[in-house]
């Protein structure tokens, strides 16, 4: 009985195990159904149809791909209709379809993707480039071609490369066009460029609608046109543009990759169509030249032999072929991971049954998520090159060829990739990326109008409107800007500069000068610039200082005259009759360091000469006098003491050179102080003016008032507005105690003109702001750049100076501010000489003491050691040695050496005498002993 139960349990266990294991083992079906929906007769569709059929044949003929399973792709023609595309996609949802290749356009893709999300059926599109088809909103949409986000980055790179700043976007008004141009706007903004005008076209435009839109485009300022259209009717835009004269010199046309799709598919295009698009720049999705691609290209003529007409191979066909292989690899991985093709009803669709509406036929693909994951994880090499996805579900290595339409064909002028930017060589991902401006290059372009000169990119609108240029209606200093009421004429320095700069431009500028101000008081220039920001004026010319708050309102040209706020004050002419004027050439620090070096050099020379030169020996009092005399007599090169040591002479030569420079500088400065008339003023500059509480004058309407109150915190009660130059003179003469001002603060250009005939005033101190005058134009106006270039040319050829000399008189008094206070010579002008002299002294002392220590060790070490004296005694011996004359040391050393030699000789003689004496004694003793023995 136990055995029976055991057998039953074993059978039950095996059954359970077998049932459980069946969930992880996939049974591969004989056929996998895949749908495809696109327009068969479209330029993209007729190429894609051939490519997809070829890919299906190649996949099914290779048993290693799907392991015996065949892929069946049912293709449906949407016939250029978004509605039919949606209907055909819904029909696929009713069948056991695991994936859909397509749709062809962005409008259909947006709609079908919602259904794909619900039913979990992946959509693989080889032609939808709309950048808004994001993985977050449409997770089951897989783009198997390049994203328009990258193509628009390439367009923006070209715009920036040629220095253009504004473009016109001409595009089809649907999801594909609008979203692509939105991406272009973002890419341009990153490079500080912008779309100045958007011109949308209807989805299927006719010649009349294209003409109406291009007429509006021709009236705009920019001449850079980006055309983002469809290959079917895009060439018609160029036909109309040529008819309107918009394909001539000065225009730039940049077409997205739809144009190369047209050219590659229908090549050669009719000569009339090619003539309409001469000089156009366009893009082609870049696919590297590989063996797989070459083999497929060689097969293409055989694959299309049965088609009506010649069909060329375009990039979309290459991506369509790889899309089938991508799906095949993903399905194979799906089966390897235990995936089963099964479908289940959607409860929400069941609830939608209303009358004849029955959506029960559409069901959810249970393995949709697994298949989608395998699609995104495929890593293969196709005919388009490496084929796999980035984390944001775009194809890796996005790149485009840049094409120039020339003659009856096209010419490749370079490449763009997000790895290395613009380049004349294909992208190489094995090398480090280089985005430096020097590496960004393209071959030369033949632009519309058969010219190789880069177009300027903009013109004045051809709508009869003149530029409205505001000019301040000045009351004072009319040499700069003057307005005559009767004949409505402007004259002056600024007007002549503006006119001369306009004449330097290679194009005509229609403009009208409009006075700004009431003619009673000087207008506020900041208000004039603000009217450019509000659009009342297109620009402003005149005495307009370039300051911070104005640059936020408008763009300025290169300054045509330097300026800056200065202080002008009354001065009096005096001669320097001060009894202590001889001290003025040097500042106190310079006097102190110079005196210190006299003593230092004297002391160093004394140390170096003391043991050798009798002139530097004697009683202490005499030696101190010698040091002082020798030190200061070198100022006049009148020192009587000779130097005998090599180190002493070296130090003295360097010091005499330093003295020569200092002496010459002192003499020149003192001569200037005592002989040149000087200007003196109680106001020395801005600091002394601000430190007082005296009134300060400024030109009414000038930015000086705001600068003084906002930047320098000057109380407004101290500020006195002045208008005419005579008001300046009267206020300065009256002074702060008689209702006038202590000084006037104004721009240097005005003050130099004011001082040209008034020598009793002068600029004091330095300019405390650095600005210039320029012409103002609307933000991002290309005229500001061209006018800046013209002003620089005027400066280079001397015309700017000639205009200055014509209107602004040379001043005999304006430069007196430089004589207001003669600069005293400071230590910073001579510190190099002092460092040189100090280094020489230090080096000489080190060498000297090293030699002295060697001498001391040579002559005194034995005596000091033998005497066993203390440390203080040894130090005293060393000091005595230092003070002792070197000749005495040497002579005493010689005497001691001779004494040691004589002592050594005497001891040797005595030793010899004793040796002989011992020898004689020994001999006598031996003889006596011998005699005794004989006896």
Check residue 360 and give its pLDDT: 53
Return the structure tokens found at 763: 């600029």
519 pLDDT above the threshold of 60:
yes
Q: Please tell me the number of Cα atoms within 13 Å of 752 on its side-chain side.
A: 19
Rounded mean pLDDT of 335-343?
Answer: 89
Most confident of 270-284, 745-759, 809-823, 827-841: 270-284
Gap between the Cα atoms of 732 and 477, Å rounded: 18
Rounded mean pLDDT of 34-46?
Answer: 90
861 pLDDT above the threshold of 60:
no
Check residue 361 and give its pLDDT: 58
Residues in the chain, how many? 935
460 pLDDT above the threshold of 90:
no
pLDDT averaged over every residue in the chain: 83
Q: DSSP character for 126?
A: S
Name 237's Cβ contacts closer than 8 Å, sequence gap at least 6: 170, 201, 210, 214, 227, 229
What Å distances lie between residue 678 and 153, 443, 673, 744, 754, CA to CA?
66, 65, 8, 21, 21
Gap between the Cα atoms of 278 and 276, Å rounded: 6
Check residue 5 and give its pLDDT: 30
Among residues 170, 180, 176, 161, which one has the least CA distance to residue 200?
A: 170
Cβ atoms < 10 Å from Cβ of 377: 12
Return the structure tokens found at 583: 């001290």
Gap between the Cα atoms of 147 and 179, Å rounded: 11
Token pair 């997000």 is found at: 418
**8 Å CB contact between 459 and 196:** no
Return the structure tokens found at 9: 């349990």
**8 Å CB contact between 73 and 56:** yes
Rounded mean pLDDT of 871-878?
Answer: 64
CATH architecture under which domain 148-290+398-423 falls = 3-Layer(aba) Sandwich (3.40)
Percentage of the chain beyond pLDDT 70 is 80
Band the pLDDT of 578: cuts 50, 70, 90: low
144 pLDDT above the threshold of 50:
yes
Gap between the Cα atoms of 46 and 302, Å rounded: 15
Check residue 23 and give its pLDDT: 34
Check residue 814 and give its pLDDT: 45
Q: Which pTM value belongs to this model?
A: 0.68
Gap between the Cα atoms of 131 and 839, Å rounded: 72
Percentage of the chain beyond pLDDT 90 is 45
Check residue 173 and give its pLDDT: 94
Band the pLDDT of 18: cuts 50, 70, 90: very low
Q: What are phi and psi of 290, to 5 degrees?
A: -120, 170
Among residues 590, 595, 606, which one has the least CA distance to residue 639?
A: 606
Task: Check whether the bond before 103 is cis (ω within 30° of 0).
Answer: yes
Most confident of 300-304, 661-665, 915-919: 300-304
Top-confidence residue, 906 or 59: 59
Write the secondary structure of 183-240 as one string of H (helix), E (strand) and C (coil).
HHHHHHHHCCCEEEEEEEECCCCCHHHHHHHHHHHHCCCECEEEEECCCCCHHHHHHH
Name 131's Cβ contacts closer than 8 Å, sequence gap at least 6: 147, 148, 149, 152, 179, 180, 182, 183
**8 Å CB contact between 495 and 481:** yes
Check residue 287 and give its pLDDT: 94
Rounded mean pLDDT of 420-424?
Answer: 91
Gap between the Cα atoms of 308 and 325, Å rounded: 27
Gap between the Cα atoms of 802 and 795, Å rounded: 10
Rounded mean pLDDT of 672-678?
Answer: 62
Gap between the Cα atoms of 695 and 734, Å rounded: 11
Gap between the Cα atoms of 224 and 232, Å rounded: 23
Q: For the segment 694-706, what is each residue's pLDDT rounded down to a tens digit? A: 899 999 988 899 9
Element (H, E) at 912: helix 886-934
Band the pLDDT of 347: cuts 50, 70, 90: low
Check residue 719 and give its pLDDT: 93
820 pLDDT above the threshold of 50:
no
Check residue 96 and give its pLDDT: 77
Check residue 17 and give its pLDDT: 35
Rounded mean pLDDT of 81-110?
Answer: 79
Report H helices in 505-636: 525-533, 548-551, 588-609, 620-633
**8 Å CB contact between 429 and 397:** yes
Q: For the segment 187-197, what is each residue's pLDDT rounded down to a tens digit? A: 999 998 999 99
Q: Give me the residues paired with residue 50 across strands.
A: none
Q: For the segment 877-919, what is each residue's pLDDT rounded down to a tens digit? A: 666 666 666 666 666 666 666 666 666 666 665 666 666 666 6
Top-confidence residue, 280 or 830: 280
Rounded mean pLDDT of 78-95?
Answer: 71
Query: Check: CATH 3.40.50.2300 for 31-146+292-387?
Result: yes
Band the pLDDT of 819: cuts 50, 70, 90: very low
Check residue 351 and give its pLDDT: 55
Return the structure tokens found at 17: 């195990």
22 pLDDT above the threshold of 60:
no
Name 389's Cβ contacts closer than 8 Å, sequence gap at least 6: 376, 395, 396
Gap between the Cα atoms of 606 and 690, Å rounded: 53
**8 Å CB contact between 627 and 866:** no
């Amino acid at each position: 009985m136990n055995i029976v139960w055991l057998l039953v349990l074993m059978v039950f266990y095996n059954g359970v195990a077998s049932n459980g294991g069946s969930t992880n083992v996939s049974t591969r079906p004989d056929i996998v159904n895949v749908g495809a929906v696109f327009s068969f007769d479209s330029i993209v569709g007729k190429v894609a149809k051939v490519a997809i059929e070829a890919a299906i044949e190649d996949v099914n003929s290779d048993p290693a791909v799907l392991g015996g399973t065949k892929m069946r792709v049912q293709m449906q023609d949407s016939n250029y209709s978004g509605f039919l595309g949606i209907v055909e996609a819904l029909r696929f949802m009713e069948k056991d379809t695991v994936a859909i290749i397509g749709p062809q356009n962005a409008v259909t893709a947006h709609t079908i993707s919602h259904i794909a999300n619900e039913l979990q059926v992946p959509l693989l599109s080889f032609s939808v480039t709309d950048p808004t088809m994001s993985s977050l909103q449409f997770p089951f949409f897989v783009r198997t071609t390049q994203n328009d986000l990258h193509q628009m980055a390439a367009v923006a790179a070209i715009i920036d490369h040629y220095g253009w700043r504004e473009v016109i976007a001409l595009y089809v008004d649907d999801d594909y066009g609008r979203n692509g141009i939105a991406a272009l706007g973002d890419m341009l903004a990153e490079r500080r460029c912008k779309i100045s005008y958007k011109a949308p076209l209807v989805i299927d435009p006719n010649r009349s609608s294209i003409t109406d839109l291009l007429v509006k485009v021709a009236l705009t300022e920019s001449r850079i046109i980006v055309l983002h259209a469809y290959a079917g009717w895009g060439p018609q835009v160029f036909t109309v543009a040529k008819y309107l004269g918009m394909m001539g010199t000065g225009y730039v046309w940049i077409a997205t990759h739809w144009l190369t799709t047209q050219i590659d598919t229908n090549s050669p295009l009719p000569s009339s169509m090619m003539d309409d698009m001469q000089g156009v720049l366009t893009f082609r999705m870049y696919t590297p030249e590989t063996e797989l691609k070459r083999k497929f290209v060689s097969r293409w003529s055989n694959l299309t032999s049965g088609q009506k007409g010649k069909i060329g191979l375009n990039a979309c066909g290459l991506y369509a072929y790889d899309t089938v292989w991508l799906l095949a690899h993903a399905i194979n991985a799906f089966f390897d991971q235990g995936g089963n093709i099964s479908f289940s009803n959607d409860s929400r669709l069941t609830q939608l049954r209303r009358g004849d509406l029955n959506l029960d036929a559409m069901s959810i693909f249970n393995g949709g998520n697994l298949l989608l994951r395998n699609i995104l994880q495929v890593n293969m090499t196709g005919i388009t090159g490496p084929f796999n996805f980035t984390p944001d579900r775009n194809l890796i290595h996005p790149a485009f060829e840049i094409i120039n339409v020339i003659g009856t064909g096209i010419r490749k002028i370079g490449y763009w990739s997000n790895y290395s930017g613009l380049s004349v060589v294909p992208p190489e991902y094995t090398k480090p990326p280089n985005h430096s401006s020097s590496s960004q290059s393209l071959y030369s372009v033949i632009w519309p109008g058969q010219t190789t000169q880069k177009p300027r990119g903009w013109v004045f609108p051809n709508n009869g409107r003149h530029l409205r240029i505001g000019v301040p209606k000045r009351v004072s200093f009319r040499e700069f800007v003057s307005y005559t009421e009767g004949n409505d004429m402007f004259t002056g320095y600024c007007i002549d500069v503006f006119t001369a700069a306009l004449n330097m431009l290679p194009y005509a500028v229609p403009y009208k000068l409009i006075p700004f101000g009431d003619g009673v008081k000087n207008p506020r220039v900041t208000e004039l610039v603000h009217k450019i920001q509000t659009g009342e004026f297109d620009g402003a010319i005149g005495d307009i200082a370039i300051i911070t708050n104005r640059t936020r309102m408008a763009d300025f040209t290169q300054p045509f005259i330097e300026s800056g706020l200065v202080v002008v004050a009354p001065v009096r002419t005096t001669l320097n009759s001060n009894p202590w004027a001889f001290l003025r050439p040097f500042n106190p620090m310079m006097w102190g360091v110079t005196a210190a070096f006299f003593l230092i050099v004297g002391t160093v020379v004394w140390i170096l000469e003391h043991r050798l030169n009798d002139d530097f020996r004697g009683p202490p009092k005499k030696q101190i006098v010698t040091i002082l005399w020798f030190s200061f007599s070198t100022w006049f090169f009148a020192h009587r003491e000779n130097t005998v040591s090599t180190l002493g002479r070296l130090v003295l030569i360097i010091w005499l050179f330093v003295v020569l420079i200092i002496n010459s500088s002192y003499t020149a400065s003192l001569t200037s102080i005592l002989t040149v008339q000087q200007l003196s003023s109680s106001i020395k500059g801005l600091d002394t003016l601000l430190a007082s509480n005296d009134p300060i004058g400024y030109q009414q309407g000038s930015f000086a008032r705001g600068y003084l109150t906002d930047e320098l915190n000057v109380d407004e009660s101290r500020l006195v507005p002045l208008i005419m130059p005579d008001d300046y003179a009267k206020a300065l003469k009256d002074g702060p105690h008689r209702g006038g001002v202590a000084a006037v603060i104004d721009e240097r250009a005005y003050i130099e003109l004011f001082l040209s005939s008034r020598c009793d005033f002068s600029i004091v101190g330095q300019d405390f702001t650095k600005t210039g005058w320029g012409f103002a134009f609307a933000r991002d106006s290309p005229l500001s750049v061209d006018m800046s270039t013209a002003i620089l040319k005027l400066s280079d050829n001397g015309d700017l100076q000639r205009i200055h000399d014509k209107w602004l008189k040379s001043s005999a008094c304006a430069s007196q501010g430089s004589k207001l206070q003669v600069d005293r010579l400071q230590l910073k002008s001579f510190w190099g000489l002092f460092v040189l002299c100090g280094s020489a002294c230090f080096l000489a002392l080190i060498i000297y003491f090293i030699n002295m220590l060697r001498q001391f060790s040579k002559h005194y070490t034995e005596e000091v050691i033998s005497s066993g004296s203390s440390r203080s005694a040894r130090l005293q011996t060393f000091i005595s040695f230092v003070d002792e004359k070197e000749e005495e040391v040497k002579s005493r050393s010689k005497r001691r050496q001779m004494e040691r030699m004589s002592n050594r000789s005497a001891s040797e003689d005595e030793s010899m005498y004793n040796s002989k004496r011992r020898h004689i004694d020994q001999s006598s003793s031996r003889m006596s002993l011998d005699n005794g023995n004989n006896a």
